[in-house]
Each structure stands twice: as structure tokens, then as C-alpha cells.
């Protein structure tokens, strides 16, 4: 870990943790306590919403760790200008999956890198377009029964079902997992070496 400016991931997401580890970063995980339900999705574009949540999560942790470089992130799925969050239950998950796998949709991640002591606040958004496969009734029901939709925006994790559910993607694959590593790595390397 960089002693001058330690890196903190303000997320409990195992996918984000794994992506950062695979990229060779040393960091600590301190999950943000921000309540996402307090933020209004209606009338806000997916990019603005994801960036707002990412920044709030990073700030929540940065306030307690002022010298650290804090990485906050939030990913949402959007279709027809509607932001689709994490399913509330199995019925909600089934409705979401049926809607998303009927046409192309987007995965939008907001990323914020903040250090209060160093006056750093960089926020960006990345969008990946998903071209889904047409799912059979059996595939949909098996997916809902598996419970793999729990805690995942859009009711699925691409790492669990890429070959079965996805025809192709346009953009960053790691973005769909939860963190656009190409852009994130570039920012972190620059700020950690400064």
C-alpha cells in the first residue's frame, strides 16, 4: 500500500475488489454506509445518477480517512432512459430480466476518486452497451431460481452468465462487472504516483 497516499475502496463489492487486485493495486476495503434508496432516480440520466452515488460513497469514506485516496463506484443498468437498480425480490428480478433481455441495454458506471487532504476529486462515467441473446422461458426461470440475481443491478452478473445470456458488448467488459478498469487504472496510477 502506498504509505504517502493509501488507497481505499469504498465498496463491499467482491467484483470490484477482485478487479482492483487483478490490476495489481494494494488497497484497503472500507464499505460506504450511504443509503442508495435516498437518491431519486426519476428525471436523472443514468450517467448523472451513477456519478452522484459514486461521489457520495467516496465522500462518506473520505471524511473519515482524509489523507487516503478513496475510490467510490456505482453501476446501474439502463433501458429506454429508465434506470434499473437491484431487484427487490424474485418477482422483481424476473420482470427486470424479461425486460432487459428483450432488447439492447446499457451498463453505466460512475467512478469517483477523492482525497480531501489533497484536494482531489475526479469523477467520470463509463457506458457499455449490451446486446443480449433471446432467453428461453427455461433460462429465465432457472436464473431466477439460482438466486444469482441478488444484489446485482439489472438482476444479473455478466461474469456468471456471459456466454449464455450475452450476444456481444460494445465498450469495457470490466465496466459491466462493476468497474471500468481501463480508465480507473489510469487515474489511480497517476494520482498514486503524484
* Position 170 in a domain: yes
* Position 141 in a domain: yes
Residue tagged 432487459 (cell numbers): 100
59 neighbors 72 (Cβ within 8 angstroms): yes
* Position 136 in a domain: yes
Q: What was the pLDDT predicted at 70?
A: 98
Structural domain span for residue 77 = 7-193
Q: What was the pLDDT predicted at 194?
A: 78
- Catalytic (active site) residue 74: yes
Which of 35, 74, 81, 104 is flagged as catalytic? Answer: 74
94 neighbors 144 (Cβ within 8 angstroms): yes
Full-model pTM: 0.88
- At residue 72, what are phi and psi to the nearest 5 degrees? -115, 145
Q: What was the pLDDT predicted at 67?
A: 94
* Position 2 in a domain: no
Buried residues in 44-72 as b, exposed as e (16+ CB within 10 A): eebbebbbbbbbbbbbbbbeebeebbbbb
Q: What was the pLDDT predicted at 1?
A: 42
CATH number at residue 152: 3.90.950.10
Total domains in the chain come to 1
* Position 113 in a domain: yes
**70 contact partners, CB below 8 Å, separation of at least 6:** 7, 8, 10, 58, 59, 61, 62, 113, 114, 115
Count CB atoms within 10 A of the CB of residue 168.
10
Q: What was the pLDDT predicted at 162?
A: 64
Containing 157, the helix (H) or strand (E) segment is: none
Per residue of the chain (194 residues), give pLDDT as tens. Answer: 445 689 999 999 999 999 999 999 999 999 999 988 788 887 889 999 999 999 999 999 999 999 999 999 999 899 988 898 789 999 999 999 999 889 999 999 999 999 999 999 999 999 999 999 988 999 999 999 999 888 888 888 877 666 788 899 999 999 998 899 999 999 999 999 87
* Position 171 in a domain: yes
* Position 12 in a domain: yes
* Position 145 in a domain: yes
Amino acid at each position: 500500500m502506498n504509505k504517502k497516499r493509501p488507497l481505499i475502496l469504498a465498496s463491499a463489492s467482491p467484483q470490484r475488489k477482485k478487479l482492483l487486485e487483478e490490476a495489481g493495486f494494494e488497497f484497503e476495503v472500507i464499505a460506504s454506509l450511504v443509503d442508495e434508496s435516498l437518491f431519486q432516480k426519476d428525471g436523472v440520466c443514468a450517467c448523472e445518477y451513477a456519478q452522484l452515488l459514486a461521489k457520495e460513497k467516496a465522500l462518506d469514506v473520505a471524511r473519515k480517512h482524509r489523507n487516503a485516496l478513496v475510490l467510490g463506484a456505482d453501476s446501474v443498468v439502463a433501458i429506454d432512459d429508465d434506470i434499473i437498480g437491484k431487484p427487490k425480490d424474485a418477482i422483481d428480478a424476473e420482470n427486470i430480466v424479461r425486460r432487459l433481455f428483450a432488447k439492447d441495454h446499457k451498463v453505466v458506471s460512475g467512478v469517483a476518486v477523492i482525497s480531501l487532504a489533497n484536494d482531489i476529486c475526479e469523477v467520470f462515467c463509463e457506458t457499455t452497451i449490451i446486446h443480449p441473446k433471446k432467453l428461453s422461458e427455461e433460462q429465465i426461470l432457472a436464473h431466477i431460481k439460482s438466486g444469482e440475481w441478488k444484489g446485482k443491478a439489472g438482476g444479473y452478473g455478466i461474469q456468471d452468465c456471459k456466454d449464455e445470456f450475452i450476444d456481444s458488448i460494445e465498450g469495457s467488459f470490466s465496466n459491466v462487472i462493476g468497474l471500468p478498469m481501463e480508465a480507473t487504472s489510469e487515474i489511480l496510477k497517476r494520482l498514486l504516483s503524484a
